[in-house]
């Protein structure tokens, strides 16, 4: 049965790859110019990349500080698992509902302005964590959902516009920037996790301190954005019709070349699985009784290795769409192995065989590392392909629309789990 599933999966992905390549060529997405794919030394590119990455790293560092202690904070405040699930779902629904609106505001009024607003909104979301009231925490989750929509779409939209449309830099150089963003984001996650644990556990400041610590980093990101970023308008001015402007990208997604639709499907499936994985890996590895901080750090190391692999293969002139296909197929195979391992564990529960369960847990852990390696390859690849296919005038709005199915799927997963 498994060989048939793997064979069918590979066949479908090969078909998808052919369609993607055909659409890219047909839309003249992949440039035929012969630019160097190695690390460029253009001073304008270096300055732009530095301004973007510093602001982005500070923002994601603040985000990573909070992640490990959000559930614990809610528990410390005495909220039940069902209430905590509702709070988590409210964050994803907020991102789903308001994400397209903030994307439209970014495309219409400026990405720099929205990225600055992100730092303020996320700081307010952090401040709500000092209060144990459910209603205040709910407001914080809503603000957090809006903020993450901006973080994971509008920062990228600003950079791509500056890189391609203002400075007219070679598009191949985007690979280097997105690969660095993924690589150092993994490093940032490790450092943030250790810092949060140091202050919350070892110095005994409690589970609220990571949220307070995040605020200075958000304000530093705001300072970098305001002092180093420039705002250049998109290529096309929007009509002054709110609803029409928000839903125009959906029509574009369905009516234009299939490349956008295919990328949307790939992003939805891959990132929905990724968020489900975030909520599921801890109980799956419970038999190993692992130190969670160490396991998380190893996941991030695997992600960093994936990013470095992507950079190396790009420098050898492998195409991003081929690397995206490879990472998705490999990720699918890892979850086939994980599913078989979990099935074996369920069967042997009745036999009370701890050795078998431990062996299967080790296999799952190894597959999780392979999956994180795939994630490290996925993000720079999907970021590059998005930058080449999403129209500039709808870049932030459409990027948020592509996140809507993922947020819905994640909400369903959390609901079913609880």
Backbone φ and ψ for 231, nearest 5 degrees, come out as: -110, 115
Is pLDDT of 61 > 90? yes
Q: Please, which residues have CB within 8 angstroms of residue 307's CB and are 6 or more apart in sequence? A: 179, 180, 182, 183, 186, 376, 377, 379, 380
CA 180 to chain centre: 14
| Residue bearing tokens 């991003």 | 320
Distances (CA, A) of 217 to 67, 213, 296: 15, 7, 22
Is pLDDT of 260 > 90? no
Is pLDDT of 397 > 80? yes
pTM recorded for the entire structure? 0.82
**Pair 40, 314: CB distance under 8 Å:** no
Distances (CA, A) of 246 to 51, 96, 238: 29, 13, 10
Is pLDDT of 197 > 90? no
Lowest mean pLDDT among 4-13, 30-39, 230-239: 30-39
Tell me: the pLDDT tens digits for 304-331? 999 999 999 999 989 999 999 999 999 9
| Residue bearing tokens 């209603």 | 135
Report residue 126 as tokens.
């952090």
At 90, is the secondary structure helix, strand, or coil? helix
Is pLDDT of 350 > 70? no
**Packing angle of the helix pair 134-151, 43-66 (nearest 10 deg):** 160
Distance CA 8, CA 16 (A): 12
Distance CA 368, CA 403 (A): 23
Share of the chain above pLDDT 70, in %: 84
Is pLDDT of 401 > 80? yes
Distance CA 341, CA 364 (A): 7
Q: Could you tell me the domains of the chain?
A: 2-27+51-412 (1.20.1250.20)
pLDDT, position 36? 44
Kindly indicate the confidence band of residue 26, based on its pLDDT and cuts at 50, 70 and 90.
very low
Report residue 80 as tokens.
């039940």
Distance CA 334, CA 299 (A): 14
**Mean pLDDT over each residue of the chain, to the nearest integer:** 84
CA 270 to chain centre: 10
Mean local confidence (pLDDT), 41-60: 94
Mean local confidence (pLDDT), 272-285: 84
Is pLDDT of 398 > 90? no
At 196, is the secondary structure helix, strand, or coil? helix
pLDDT, position 270? 94
pLDDT, position 31? 43
Mean local confidence (pLDDT), 380-386: 93
Mean local confidence (pLDDT), 217-223: 98
Tell me: the pLDDT tens digits for 145-185? 999 999 999 999 999 999 998 999 999 899 999 999 999 99
Q: Please, which residues have CB within 8 angstroms of residue 24's CB and are 6 or more apart in sequence? A: 30, 259, 321, 388, 389
pLDDT, position 49? 95
Distances (CA, A) of 252 to 5, 98, 141, 185, 255: 33, 20, 31, 32, 5
Mean local confidence (pLDDT), 191-209: 89
């Amino acid at each position: 049965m498994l060989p048939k599933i793997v064979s069918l999966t590979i066949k479908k992905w090969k078909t998808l790859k052919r369609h993607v390549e055909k659409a890219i060529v047909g839309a003249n997405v992949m440039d035929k110019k012969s630019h160097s794919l190695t690390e460029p030394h253009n001073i304008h590119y270096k300055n732009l990349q530095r301004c973007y990455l510093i602001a982005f790293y500070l923002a994601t560092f603040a985000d990573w500080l909070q992640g490990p202690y959000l559930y614990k904070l809610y528990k410390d405040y005495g909220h039940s698992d069902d209430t905590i699930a509702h709070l988590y779902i409210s964050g994803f629904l907020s991102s789903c509902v308001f994400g397209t609106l903030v994307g439209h505001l970014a495309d219409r009024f400026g990405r720099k302005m929205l990225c600055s607003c992100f730092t303020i909104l996320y700081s307010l979301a952090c401040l709500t964590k000092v209060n144990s009231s459910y209603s205040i925490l709910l407001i914080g989750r809503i603000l957090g959902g809006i903020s993450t929509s901006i973080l994971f779409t509008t920062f990228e939209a600003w950079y791509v516009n500056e890189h391609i449309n203002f400075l007219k830099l070679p598009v191949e150089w985007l690979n280097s920037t997105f690969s660095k963003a993924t690589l150092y984001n993994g490093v940032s996650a490790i450092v943030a996790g250790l810092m949060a644990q140091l202050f919350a556990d070892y110095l005994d400041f409690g589970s609220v301190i990571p949220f307070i610590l995040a605020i200075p980093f958000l304000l530093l990101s705001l300072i970098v954005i305001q002092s180093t970023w420039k705002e250049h308008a998109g290529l096309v001015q929007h009509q002054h019709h709110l609803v029409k402007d928000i839903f125009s990208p959906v029509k574009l997604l369905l009516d234009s070349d299939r490349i956008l639709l295919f990328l949307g499907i790939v992003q939805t499936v891959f990132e929905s699985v990724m968020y489900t994985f975030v909520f599921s890996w801890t109980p799956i590895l419970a038999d190993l009784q692992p130190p969670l901080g160490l396991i998380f750090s190893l996941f991030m190391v695997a992600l960093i290795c994936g990013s470095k692999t992507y950079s190396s293969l790009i420098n050898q002139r492998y195409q991003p769409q081929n690397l995206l296909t490879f990472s998705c197929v490999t990720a699918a195979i890892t979850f086939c192995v994980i599913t078989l391992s979990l099935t074996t564990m369920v069967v042997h529960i009745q036999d009370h065989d701890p050795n078998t369960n431990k062996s299967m847990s080790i296999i799952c852990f190894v597959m999780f590392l392979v999956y994180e390696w795939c994630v490290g390859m996925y993000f720079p690849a999907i970021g590059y392909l998005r930058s080449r296919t999403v129209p500039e005038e709808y870049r932030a709005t459409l990027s948020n629309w592509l996140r809507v199915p993922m947020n819905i799927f994640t909400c369903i997963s959390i609901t079913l789990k609880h």
